[in-house]
């Protein structure tokens, strides 16, 4: 039987568990999977590009469980009443090859992206950071804010978005949750006093959300919006100045900010920092950049966390997904007895 978690059940599970508790739990699952990084099958995601966006498949396996996510990225979508990013995902049993778990992943992706950003910031952001600038206040933004508060205690936000309604929405959604939120007049204004900068804009172009001269030494940049060929947020001079951390180099060279750099541009993979073989932040003046694109292992961790979270609850249903004849060689037996009538038999 395949367990299925639909949107309603994900919402109910979050309602019962609490979003910050979920973010913290998910960070734990992510850290444990990043620590067994070498075990996983890894491949850059399979992307199908079109004029307005991309549809991607993101597979991985730890040898026992296989997982993949289907996700789209269409920045134009919000102009037509649709979301930029939607997703669903699957876990399967490697031994039999049978799928065992299917879930919505639009909400789950926002949670896992925020949890991954916070996991990175724990080892890269300056100690005692208090203020985060957020450029782009669309779907991902509130999740990012909550994850940074949960993991790093950030409760001052300075927000900027070219769409004033998106900023009003953020203030409406999380303004009463104990954050101190300043709505900035422009991107530069948003950076004032911020030790951490999150860029989460959506535009299918090589944008310059941050120029090098806008950013002080010692800042941590959490860049999540540049995640596709031809879709970046940071000035190349900023990348040159900072130390860049990535999820999976092979994929990030295609999709991340570093697509602007030479193929041998030096980066550090986050799993190496987590397991202590590479340095995270090593001085207060260091400019650290997490060039996030989103990697399959993060979705695997999120699905695993959800599967364990809903086990023995009513937050999933059984999905009749796999045709299962009594005699495994007799698939035909599942056809209705009148199936041959149209053929006149």
* Catalytically active residues, by annotation: 227
| Closest to 67 measured CA to CA, from 79, 76, 57, 75 | 57
User: Does residue 48 bind ligand NAD (CB under 6 A)?
Assistant: no
Among 18, 35, 46, 162, interactor with ligand NAD by CB under 6 A: 162
User: Does residue 259 bind ligand NAD (CB under 6 A)?
Assistant: no
User: Does residue 289 bind ligand NAD (CB under 6 A)?
Assistant: no
Q: Closer to ligand NAD by CB, 69 or 304: give it.
A: 69
DSSP string, 225-287: S--BTTBEEE-HHHHHHSEEEES-HHHHHHHSGGGGS-TT---EEHHHHHTTSS-S--STT--
User: Does residue 58 bind ligand NAD (CB under 6 A)?
Assistant: no
Give the SS3 label for residue 37. Answer: helix
> Least Å distance between CB 143 and ligand NAD?
9
Instruction: Tell me the number of residues near ligand NAD by CB under 6 A.
Output: 30
User: Does residue 314 bind ligand NAD (CB under 6 A)?
Assistant: no
User: Does residue 188 bind ligand NAD (CB under 6 A)?
Assistant: no
User: Does residue 163 bind ligand NAD (CB under 6 A)?
Assistant: yes
User: Does residue 60 bind ligand NAD (CB under 6 A)?
Assistant: no
Q: What are phi and psi of 243, to 5 degrees?
A: -100, 125
> Least Å distance between CB 18 and ligand NAD?
22
Binding part of the chain for ligand NAD, among 92-100, 194-202, 276-284, 335-343 by CB under 6 A, reads 194-202
Where in 78-97 is the site for ligand NAD (CB under 6 A)?
78, 84-85
Binding part of the chain for ligand NAD, among 29-37, 122-130, 276-284, 286-294 by CB under 6 A, reads 286-294
> Least Å distance between CB 330 and ligand NAD?
44
Encode 39-75: b = buried (16+ Cβ within 10 Å), e = exposed.
ebebebbebeeeeebbebebbbbbeebbbbbebbbbb
Query: How far apart are the C-alpha atoms of 60 and 115, rounded to whole Å?
Result: 19
Residue at token pair 């936000």: 157
Sign of CA dihedral 176, 209, 288, 303: positive
Residue 217 in tokens: 């030494």
> Least Å distance between CB 160 and ligand NAD?
6
Terminal CA-CA length for the chain: 34
Task: Decide if 191 contacts 133 (C-beta within 8 A).
Answer: yes
> Least Å distance between CB 183 and ligand NAD?
12
- Residues contributing to the site for ligand NAD (CB under 6 A): 73, 75, 78, 84-85, 109, 113, 135-140, 160-163, 166, 200-203, 207, 209, 224-225, 227, 292-294
């Amino acid at each position: 039987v395949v367990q299925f978690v639909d949107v309603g059940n994900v919402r109910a599970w979050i309602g019962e568990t609490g979003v910050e508790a979920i973010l913290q739990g998910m960070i734990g699952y992510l850290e444990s999977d990043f620590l067994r990084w070498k075990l996983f099958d890894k491949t850059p995601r399979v992307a199908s590009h079109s004029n307005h966006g991309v549809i991607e498949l993101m597979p991985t396996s730890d040898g026992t469980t296989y997982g993949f996510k289907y996700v789209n990225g269409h920045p134009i979508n919000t102009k037509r009443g649709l979301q930029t990013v939607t997703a669903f995902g699957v876990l399967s049993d490697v031994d039999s090859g049978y799928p065992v778990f299917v879930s919505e992943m639009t909400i789950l992706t926002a949670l896992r992206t925020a949890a991954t950003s916070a996991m990175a910031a724990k080892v890269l952001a300056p100690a005692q950071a208090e203020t985060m600038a957020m450029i782009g206040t669309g779907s991902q933004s509130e999740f990012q804010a909550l994850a940074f508060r949960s993991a790093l205690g950030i409760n001052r936000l300075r927000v900027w978005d070219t769409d004033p309604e998106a900023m009003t929405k953020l203030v409406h959604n999380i303004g009463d949750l104990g954050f101190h939120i300043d709505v900035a007049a422009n991107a530069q204004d948003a950076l004032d006093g911020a030790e951490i900068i999150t860029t989460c804009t959506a535009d299918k172009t090589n944008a310059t959300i941050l120029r090098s001269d806008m950013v002080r030494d010692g800042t941590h940049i959490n860049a999540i919006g540049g995640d596709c060929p031809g879709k970046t947020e940071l000035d190349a001079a900023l990348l040159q100045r900072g130390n860049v951390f990535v999820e999976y180099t092979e994929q990030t060279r295609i999709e991340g900010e570093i697509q602007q750099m030479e193929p041998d541009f030096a980066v550090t993979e986050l799993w190496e920092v987590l397991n202590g073989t590479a340095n995270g932040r090593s001085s207060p003046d260091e400019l650290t950049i997490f060039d996030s694109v989103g990697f399959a292992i993060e979705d695997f961790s999120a699905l695993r966390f959800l599967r364990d979270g809903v086990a023995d609850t009513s937050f999933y249903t059984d999905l009749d997904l796999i045709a299962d004849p009594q005699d495994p060689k007799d698939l035909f037996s599942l056809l209705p007895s009148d199936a041959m009538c149209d053929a006149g038999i």
